Amino acid sequence: MAKVSRSRVAVTILAGIVLVLFFVTVAGLFYYRDIIRKLGEVQEEYYEEYPRLYAYIAEDPQSELSNRIYKDILEYARENDCYVEMTGQNLSTSYSKADRINIAISSKVDGIILEGDDSEETAKLIDKATAEGIPVVTVISDCIDSSRKSFIDLNNYSLGAEYGAALAKIGEARRLYPLTALILLDRDDGNYDDIIHSAIQESCGRSVLLTSGVVDTSTPFTSEEDVVNILDGLDKAPDVIICLNDRTTESVYQCIVDKNLVGRTEILGYYDSETILKAIDKGSVYATFAIESKTVAKQCINALNEYNASGFVSEYFSSNYIRVDRNNLSEYRAEENKNEG
């Protein structure tokens, strides 16, 4: 009798456990379905369709400057009923610039915003996009011998004149003539750099002894290595180093600090990364020139929208640079924070 009772108790307990597990499983399934339903509602709520899709193709998708421009382009595009995708960004595989242009063409986007260059390959790819009915606008650097519809220029001649004015001010402060200046050119931006180089020389004349070096800015490592090699190859450090790239500016700044040349060699930089702005605040960088990226963004989107709407657009738009030094650093930062907010 005792044995029977124990068996019944065991069976009852087992049945109870099975029943509890059954209800837990059912409850879990209902909870899971509810979560999926809610997620579907959230995704549906924020899902937007845009009548036009554009591609932004940077020279270097990891460049801080390119990402700043893309951020402003995307923001302005959304406000104007279109969407822009940065081709080649955040991918496990690294694609060349030519590959990324081909990807955009194959995707049949409604337009391409391209950081141009002077290569024959890029010109042919722009012509291929045009033949496929995809308009291309170039930004920062042009591709002259191509069928691009418009070029959003950064007024590089004006930038060269600004560098020249800064050199003159440094020369007056030091009472040193001729002032020795080293301009560091980008390996792949011959036409762009030549314009700036010529404008500097024209604005300074014989008061500045201007020499140049070429820096490979494809990666931070190559940039730093080239800067160190160039400076190590000089008999004497120059009075001023002029940088035409954000990576070059940061590499030169680090090199000047490492070589204890702060105060002896002034730096005229390019772009307004937090590293560069902090260096200006410390007095390690004399001044930098920041791009009006929001203006550039508007010009890129407006050019493509205008062409898609009418079939016509101006071949040239121009945007200026903003000089940032210790005199206006606080005001500039406050304005940038206001714009970001």
Q: Do domains 53-155+293-320 and 156-291 have the same CATH topology?
A: yes
Give the length of the chain: 341
Strand partners, 153: 318
- pLDDT per position as a tens digit, 45-61: 455 788 999 999 998 88
Give the single-character DSSP code of 107. Answer: T
Contact 4, 12 (CB under 8 A): no
| Nearest-5° Cα angle at 102, 100 to 103 | 65
Q: What is the mean pLDDT of residues 263-285?
A: 94
pLDDT of residue 2: 47
Phi-psi region of 311 (alpha: psi -120 to 50; beta: other; left: phi over 0): left
Q: The whole model's pTM is what? A: 0.76
The domain 53-155+293-320: what is its CATH number? Answer: 3.40.50.2300
Give tens-digit pLDDT for 290-328: 999 999 999 999 999 999 999 999 999 988 899 999 999
pLDDT tens digits for 154-202?
888 899 999 999 999 998 888 877 899 999 988 755 566 778 888 888 8
Phi-psi domain of 321 (left: phi exceeds 0; alpha: psi -120 through 50; beta: other): beta
Rg of the chain over all Cα atoms, to the nearest angstrom: 29
Provide the residue ranges of all domains of the chain, joining segments of one domain with +.
53-155+293-320, 156-291
Question: In CATH, what class is 156-291?
Answer: alpha beta
